Structure 1
Amino acid sequence: MTEQFSHETVLLHETVDALQPKDGVYIDGTFGRGGHTRLLLSKVSPNSTLIVFDKDPLAIAEAQSLKAEDDRVQIIQAGFAQMAQEIEQRGLSGQVDGILLDLGVSSPQLDDARRGFSFMSDGPLDMRMNPDTGMSAADWIANVREDDLANVLFQYGDERFSRRIAKGIVMARQQQAITRTLQLAEIIKASHPKWDHKKHPATKSFQAIRIFINGELDELDAVLQGSLKILKPGGRLAVISFHSLEDRAVKQFIRLQANGPELPPGLPVMESSIEKLLKPVGKAIKPSAQEVAVNVRSRSATLRIAERL
C-alpha cells in the first residue's frame, strides 16, 4: 500500500482568486497534490481547460486520478521550464488566462524520507524532484570539487560558513561515501561553528544542494520569460515563493517587465516607445497569522501577482 503524506496548500484562496478564474485556459505549473488545481476547477466554467505540470511521478499519479473525475484537466509530466514550448505545441501561445506557480518542495516530498529532501529523518540522499532523471545529491557530493561545493552552499543557501562546511564534507567523504540524509546533516552540524538554535544547522545547506540539483532558479527564469509568450493580454501570473532567492527573482522580473529595460541616463527615448509587458497587481501577499498557526511551513511564503499588458 502506498504511504500517504498530508499537504496543506499555501495561500490557497489568495492565489486562486488572484487569477480571476472564469471561462478560459489556466495553467497550474506546480501541481503537487492538486490543492490549487481543485479550487480552480470549482471556480472556472465547464468549458474551461486546466493544464497541470509536474515532474514528480507521484504528483502525476495524483493528477491522473483527478483527470478521471474531471476531463477539463490536461496533464504534462515536465518541469515548468518547458511550459512555453509545451503550450506552443498545443497552439495556445498568447491564449492563456492564468498561470499559477507554487515554487519549492512540497510537504509530501519533505515528509517522505525516501525522497532525500529532509535532514529530520533518515533516507537516501537523493533530492531530485523527478527521481527518474538527473544526478542525485549523493552522486554530486561524491565528486564535486570543494570550492564548487562551497560556492553552491553560499550562492543558493546564503550559508556564511560555506567553506568550513564544504571542507568538512570533503574530508568526511574520504573516509566513507555520503549516501544518507542524516549522515550529511551530522557532517554539516559538526562542521558548523555557530547557528541559530531555532533552526537546524543543515537547513541552509540542504536548501542550497536541492536548488542546485534541480536547477530551480534556472527553471524559474525560464518559466517567467516564457509566461510573456503564454499569457493573453489581461492574463494573470501568480507566483508563490519560499525563500529570498526565488522572491527576488520574481520581484525583479515583474519590475523589469513593468518598467521596461534600463536605459542609459540622458538617452532621448520617449516613454511611449518603451515596451512594457506586465503590470504588478497589488503588493506582495504573506500568509495570515491564522494560516501560519495551522501550517508553520507557510511562514516564509510570498505571493506576487502580475497582469499581462
Structure 2
Amino acid sequence: MRESMHIPVLLAEVLENLSPAPGQFFVDCTAGEGGHSIPMVKMVMPGGNVLSIDADPEELEVLKQNIEDAGFQSIITAVHGNFGDVKKIVSESGLGNPNGILFDLGFSSWQLERSGRGFTFQKNEPLDMRFDPNDESAATAAEIINETSQEHLAWIFANYGEEKSADKIADAIVKARKSGPIKTTGDLVNIVFSVSGGRGKIHPATKIFQALRIAVNRELENIEQGIEGARKTLHPRGKIAVISFHSLEDRLVKQIFRKWKNKNIGTLINKKVIKPSWQETKGNPRSRSAKLRVFQVN
C-alpha cells in the first residue's frame, strides 16, 4: 500500500460554500485519497453520508485504506466509477438525493509523479495517460499518437491544448512515426522540442500533454455529462461545486452555470470565481491555477 501524498485544494473554501451539516448526504465525484471526502464526513455526522467516487482503481484502494484508518467505513461509501456517470452511480447507491456534489477536476500528485502512466513529461514513461488503466474502451495516448491522422492530431492539440504550433507538431509526429512507433513520453518530448527549439516560459510539451490527457479520458465530455447529471440528482436547494485547473475546464463550467442561471434553475453562490489564497499557493504550488465555482439549484 502506497502512502498518501496529495494535498486537497481549496479545502476550506469548498467546505464553506457547500456547508455540509449533520444528517446530510454529499458526493465527492473525484475523491482521490479522500482529501475532501474525509473532512466533509466529519461535518455531516451524526446521521449523514458521503459517497466517494474515483475512476482510478489504485487511488480507490488508498482511499479505502484512508477511510478505514479514519474509522469512517460505515459513513463513507467508496466506489469505482467515472464522474461522468454520477447520476447513475448516485441512483445505484440507494442513498437518496445529495445535498451537495463536488467535482475536483485536477489529477493527484501520485498520478503525476508515480503512477508510471505518462502523465508527466519530466520522466520517461509509457504513453498511457488513462485515469483507469483497466478501461480497455479508452485509447491510450500512444494509440492516439501513432494511429490518428495528422489533421485530427492538430485538431486535438489546438482545441484541447490551445497549442499555437499544433499543425507543425502534428506534422513532426507523423513524420517521426514512419521510422517506428512513438512509445514513451521521452519520444514525444523530443519531437516537440524539434519543433519548438527549446524551452519558453512554460515547458514546450505542457499543452501537448494536456491535450492528450483530455482526449484519452474524454474529459470535457465527461465534465459536461457529469455536471448536468449531478444537477438532475440533487436535493432541492442542493449545491454543485467544481474546481477546475485550466481555461478549457473553467470556461465549460462557467457556460453551464450561466445557462442554468438564465433558465432560472438556480443561482450562482459566488459571482466571482474563488481562487486559492497566497498562503495556500505557497504551501501547495500546484493549487495556483485552481478555480472554484459553486451553483445552488432551486
TM-score by length of 1: 0.90
Deviation per CA, 1:6-37, whole angstroms, max 9, x where unpaired? 21211111112211111211000001111001
Give the structure 1 partner of residue 65 of structure 2.
Answer: 65
Pairwise CA distance, 1:178: 1.0
Aligned partners of 2:103, 2:115: CA distance in 1, in Å?
A: 25
Match of 1:278 among 262, 266, 271: 266
Gaps of 5+ in 2: none
Give the structure 1 partner of residue 6 of structure 2.
Answer: 7
Deviation per CA, 1:86-145, whole angstroms, max 9, x where unpaired? 22234456x210101100322110111512100011111110000111221112211110
Give the structure 2 partner of residue 18 of structure 1.
Answer: 17
Number of residue pairs aligned between Structure 1 and Structure 2:
291
Contact 1:84 1:229 in 2 (8 A): yes
CA change 1:193–1:147 in 2 (3 A) is farther
Pairwise CA distance, 1:193: 5.2
Q: 1:87 is paired with a residue of what secondary structure?
A: helix
CA change 1:194–1:115 in 2 (3 A) is closer
Aligned partners of 2:36, 2:289: CA distance in 1, in Å?
A: 18
Give the structure 2 partner of residue 79 of structure 1.
Answer: 82
Aligned partners of 2:129, 2:223: CA distance in 1, in Å?
A: 18
Aligned partners of 1:170, 1:113: CA distance in 2, in Å?
A: 28
Contact 1:92 1:230 in 2 (8 A): no
Aligned partners of 1:100, 1:250: CA distance in 2, in Å?
A: 13
Give the structure 2 partner of residue 130 of structure 1.
Answer: 132
Pairwise CA distance, 1:183: 1.6
After superposition, the CA RMSD in angstroms is 1.5
CA change 1:129–1:113 in 2 (3 A) is closer
Q: 1:38 is paired with a residue of what secondary structure?
A: helix
Aligned partners of 2:261, 2:95: CA distance in 1, in Å?
A: 24
Give the structure 2 partner of residue 206 of structure 1.
Answer: 209
CA change 1:5–1:189 in 2 (3 A) is farther
Contact 1:5 1:107 in 2 (8 A): no
Aligned partners of 1:5, 1:181: CA distance in 2, in Å?
A: 25
Partner amino acid, structure 2, of 1:99: I
Contact 1:34 1:63 in 2 (8 A): yes
1:288 aligns with 2:264: no
Aligned partners of 1:293, 1:12: CA distance in 2, in Å?
A: 15
Deviation per CA, 1:138-162, whole angstroms, max 9, x where unpaired? 1221111010000000000000100
User: Greater Rg, structure 1 or structure 2?
Assistant: 1
Aligned partners of 2:53, 2:46: CA distance in 1, in Å?
A: 21
Deviation per CA, 1:277-297, whole angstroms, max 9, x where unpaired? 121002210011111111111
- TM alignment of 1:151-230, pairs within 5 A: 151-192=155-196, 197-230=200-233
Give the structure 2 partner of residue 37 of structure 1.
Answer: 37
Gaps of 5+ in 1: 261-275
Match of 2:243 among 229, 240, 253: 240
Partner amino acid, structure 1, of 2:109: S
Give the structure 1 partner of residue 52 of structure 2.
Answer: 52
Q: 1:304 is paired with a residue of what secondary structure?
A: strand
Give the structure 2 partner of residue 263 of structure 1.
Answer: none
Aligned partners of 2:95, 2:254: CA distance in 1, in Å?
A: 26
Pairwise CA distance, 1:66: 3.5
